[in-house]
Structure 1
Amino acid sequence: MVSNFKNSKPVFPILFAVSFIHLLNDFVQGIIPSVYPLLKDEHHLSFSQIGMITFVYQIAASIFQPVVGSYTDKYPQPYSQMIAMAFSLVGLVLFAQAHNYEMILISVFLVGVGSSIFHPESSRMAYMASGGKRSLAQSIFQIGGNAGTALAPILVAFFILPKGQDAIIWFAIVPILGKVVALYIGRWYKVKIADRTAVKNKVVLAPDLPNSRVIMSVVVLLLLIISKYFYIASITNYFQFFTMEKFGISEVQAQVFLFYFLIAVAVGTLLGGIFGDRFGRKYVIWFSVLGVAPFALALPYVDFTTTGILIVIIGLILSSAFPSIIVYAQELLPKKLGMISGLFYGFAFGMGGLGSALLGWYADHTSIAFIYQICSYLPLIGIVAYFLPDLQRTPHKEVEL
C-alpha cells in the first residue's frame, strides 16, 4: 500500500487544534524575550547575559528535538503535547519567581525542554492531517506558533511591564489550557496510530535521488536556517533596544514595533504555505531568504516611519520559507518524519540561541546599531537555494516504512 493523500482532504479541526496549541506553546516561549527590558533593569544584566538567557533556552529547545523525533518515529506518543505543557508550566511558574540570574537560567531551560518535546510530534500530526496539502498544513501549524510569539510582547507590555516580573504567574493559565487541547488532539492521533499499525507492508514515495544529493540538500537547508534564524534573533531579542536607542521611544512603544514584525511573520507563514503547494517549495524558499536582502540592508539606516514599514515587509517575506523548508525536508526523507522535524525545529532554535548569544556579546563590545549593520548581510546566504533539486519534477520511488 502506497502512503499518499490524493483521495483525502485536510482534517481542518485537527489542524486548527494543533495550530492553537502551537500558539499557546510559543506564547509561553515569547514571554521570555519580551521581558528582557524588565529583566535588564531589575537584575542589572548586560547584553551578554541577556544573550545567554536566550542561548540556554534555545539550546534546551533544540538539542533534545532530534532525539525526541527519532524516538517517536519508532514509538509514536499521542499525548506528548501534554508532557510538553507540563514542563512549560513548571518553567513559567519558576520564571515568575526567579529573582536571581541562576534561577532565571533554570526556569527558561525547563521551558525549552517543553518546547523540544512539543514540536516533533506536533509537526507529524500536522503532516498526517494534511490530506496532501502539506505546505498548507505546515503553515497552519506554524502560523499558530507565530501568532503566539506575536501576542506575547503586546500582552507583556500591558500586563507585565507595568507590574513587574511577579505578574508573569498570571500566564500560567496558558499551558494549563494547552493540556486540555492536547488531550483532544491525542485521542485523534491515537486512533491514527492504530490505523497505521494495522496496515501491512506500508510504503511511501521518496525522491529518486542519490544519497549524496539528499545530504547536500539537507546541508543547503541548514545553511538557510542559519541565515534566517540568526537574523530573526537580532530582531526578536534586540530590536526593542535598537529602536529605543535610535528613536528615543519607550519600552511599550518598542514592543509595538516587535508586534508589527511578529504579526507580519504570522501572515507570511500562511502565504508561504499556500504558495509552496502551488508554485513549488524550492522557489518559495529561494524567494523568501534571498528576496528579503534589499529590505534588510536598508533597515539600519532609515527613519522612524520607514522602519515600521520595512520591519513588516521583512517579516512577511522572511517567514514564508519555513513551512516549505520543513515540508521539503520531510519529502526528502519521508521515512523519518519525526527525526527530520526535530532536527530542523531544533536546529532553528539552536541557531536562534547561538545567534542571540553572539549578537549580545558583539553589542556589548561595539554597539546595538553595529549588529544590525552586520546582520543586514545575512539574507544574501539565500543564494545557496539555487542548488536544491526541484522535488516536484524529480522521479519518485517506493520505499518501505
Structure 2
Amino acid sequence: MREETTGRLSLIMLSHGLVHVFLISLAAVLPLIRLEFRLSYTQIGIFTFVLSIITAAASIPMGFISDRVNKLKLISSMFFLMAILTSFLVVVRNLALVLLLFGFLWLCLSAFHPTAQAYLSSHYPGRRGQIFGLYEVGASSGMIMAPVIAAWLASIWGWKSVYGIYALPAIFVALGIYKIAGEETFSRQNKELRLRTEFLRGLKRILTHRRLKFIYMAHGLYAIIFATAALYLPIFMVDVHGFSVAQAAYMLTFFLLGGALGRILGGKSSDRWARNRVMGLSFLLLVPFLIMLSLATGGVILIFLSFAAGLTSHMILPVVTAFIGDNAQGEMGLTYGMQSLVGFGFGAISRLIAGVLADLWGIAIIFWMLAGISLLGVVCSFFLLEKNG
C-alpha cells in the first residue's frame, strides 16, 4: 500500500511538473513567436494576459466538474487533449490559429490544479502540508527545466517543435494516470438538484466562509509576489546590473531553486505548527530580502538574495493550499478552483500594474511594491488564527 501511494504521488508530482513545463516554456519561445508574426510588445502583453484570464476563469467550472467525475480520469483526459492540440501547433502557419490553439491549450491546463489539489486533499487529510509541499516541488522542477528545454529544442527545430515534442510526455503521463485512476464514489448533498443550483450553492458557501476569504486573499498576495518577481527579476538584472540574458536566466533559476526548497519546508512546517504562523513568518521574512534585492550590488549577494526570496516566498504556497483543504465545505474541487481563479487572476493583473510602475519610477520600485504586498500578507495571517489538531 505504501509503495502504491508513493507511486501515485510521484506520478501526480510528475504531471504537475509537466503542466508547468507547458506554461513556462511559452516565455522562452515568445521572442521567436514575436519575430515570426511581427508582434509588438503590447500585443505580446495582451496575448499573455488573455491566456492567464482564460486559465483563471475556467478554473471555477473545472473545479466544479472535478467534484462530479473521476478526478484522475479527468486529468488523464486533459493530457490527451493537450497532446492533440500541441500536435496541431507543429503544422499551423496562421497567427489566428496559433493564438486559438494556445487558448484551447491553456483552457485544458486550467483543469489540472483544482482537480489534482482536490484529489490530494481528500486522500491525504492528515498530511496536507507535507503532501502539498511535495506536490509543489513537482511544479518547481518543471519551472526550472522548462526554459532550458524549450530554448534547446527551439534552437534546433524551431519554436513549434517545442510543444510538438511535449505531446509525447503528455501522452505517457495521460496513460500512467489513467492506469492508476481506479473508481471513485461521489457524494452529493441532493441528487435531485440541478447542476446550476449545486454550483451556486457551493459558490455561496465558499464566498461566505470567513476563513476561506482570508486564505484566498493570502493566496492572491502570494500570486502577485511570485508572478511579478518571476517576470521582472531577469529584466531587472539585465537593465540595472548589466547581466547578459543568460546570466539573468541563471538568477531566475536560483530564485526557483530556493522556491523548490521553500515549498518542502513550508509544507512540512505547517503540519507541525499552526499554518497561519508559518504563513505570517514567511511573508515577514520575505520583506527584507525584497528590499535588499532592489538595493544590493555584486553577483554573489544577488544570487543569495534571489535564492532567499524564492525560498521564503514559496514557503507560503503549500501552506495556503493545505489551509484551503482544512476549510473546504464539501465542494473540494470548486474550492480549489477558486484558489486557481484568484492566483492566475491576481498574477495577470499584477504584471500589468508592475510594468506601469516600472515605466514611471524605474524597475527597482517593483521590489518595494512587493515588499508592501508581503507586509499585507503578514496582516492577513493574523485573521487566520488556528491551532493544528
- Deviations along 1:57-88, one digit per CA (max 9) or x if unpaired, are 21121111121111221333432123322443
Superposition pairs of residues 167-182 of structure 1, within 5 angstroms: 167-182=159-174
- Deviations along 1:10-49, one digit per CA (max 9) or x if unpaired, are 9211111100011111111110123345556666655544
Q: Is contact 1:240–1:251 with CA below 8 Å preserved after alignment? A: yes
Could you tell me the TM-score, scaled by structure 1's length?
0.82
1:385 matched to 2:385: no
Structure 2 stretches lacking a partner, 5+ long: 188-204
> What is the DSSP-based 3-state SS (H/G/I as helix, E as strand, rest coil) of the residue aligned with 1:74?
coil
- Taking a change above 3 Å as real, the CA distance of residues 10 and 280 of structure 1, as seen in their structure-2 partners, is farther
> Alpha-carbon deviation of 1:316?
0.6
Q: Is contact 1:81–1:118 with CA below 8 Å preserved after alignment? A: yes
> What is the DSSP-based 3-state SS (H/G/I as helix, E as strand, rest coil) of the residue aligned with 1:13?
helix
- Taking a change above 3 Å as real, the CA distance of residues 269 and 282 of structure 1, as seen in their structure-2 partners, is same
1:190 to 182, 187, 203: 182
> What is the DSSP-based 3-state SS (H/G/I as helix, E as strand, rest coil) of the residue aligned with 1:335?
coil
| 1:277 alignment counterpart | 271
1:110 matched to 2:110: no
1:307 matched to 2:299: no
> Alpha-carbon deviation of 1:168?
4.4
| 2:27 alignment counterpart | 33
d(CA) in 1 for partners of 2:36, 2:101: 17
| 1:292 alignment counterpart | 286
1:338 to 325, 333, 336: 333
- Taking a change above 3 Å as real, the CA distance of residues 157 and 212 of structure 1, as seen in their structure-2 partners, is closer
> Alpha-carbon deviation of 1:163?
5.2
- Taking a change above 3 Å as real, the CA distance of residues 173 and 128 of structure 1, as seen in their structure-2 partners, is farther
Letter in 2 for 1:188: I
Identity of counterpart residues, as a percentage? 21
> Alpha-carbon deviation of 1:336?
1.6
Q: Is contact 2:207–2:213 with CA below 8 Å preserved after alignment? A: no
Q: Is contact 1:288–1:321 with CA below 8 Å preserved after alignment? A: yes
Letter in 2 for 1:67: P
| 1:52 alignment counterpart | 46
d(CA) in 2 for partners of 1:30, 1:182: 20
| 1:239 alignment counterpart | 233
Letter in 1 for 2:9: L
1:324 matched to 2:316: no
- Taking a change above 3 Å as real, the CA distance of residues 74 and 90 of structure 1, as seen in their structure-2 partners, is closer
- Deviations along 1:193-250, one digit per CA (max 9) or x if unpaired, are 15x77xxxxxxxxxxxxx8997222221222222211121222222222211112222
Superposition pairs of residues 2-401 of structure 1, within 5 angstroms: 11-39=5-33, 47-89=41-83, 92=86, 105-130=99-124, 132-160=126-154, 162=155, 166-191=158-183, 193-194=184-185, 215-305=209-299, 306-364=301-359, 367-382=362-377, 383-392=379-388
> What is the DSSP-based 3-state SS (H/G/I as helix, E as strand, rest coil) of the residue aligned with 2:126?
coil
Letter in 1 for 2:182: K
> Alpha-carbon deviation of 1:102?
5.1
> Alpha-carbon deviation of 1:381?
0.9
Could you tell me the TM-score, scaled by structure 2's length?
0.84
- Taking a change above 3 Å as real, the CA distance of residues 127 and 62 of structure 1, as seen in their structure-2 partners, is same
d(CA) in 2 for partners of 1:213, 1:345: 14
- Taking a change above 3 Å as real, the CA distance of residues 188 and 113 of structure 1, as seen in their structure-2 partners, is same
> What is the DSSP-based 3-state SS (H/G/I as helix, E as strand, rest coil) of the residue aligned with 2:310?
helix
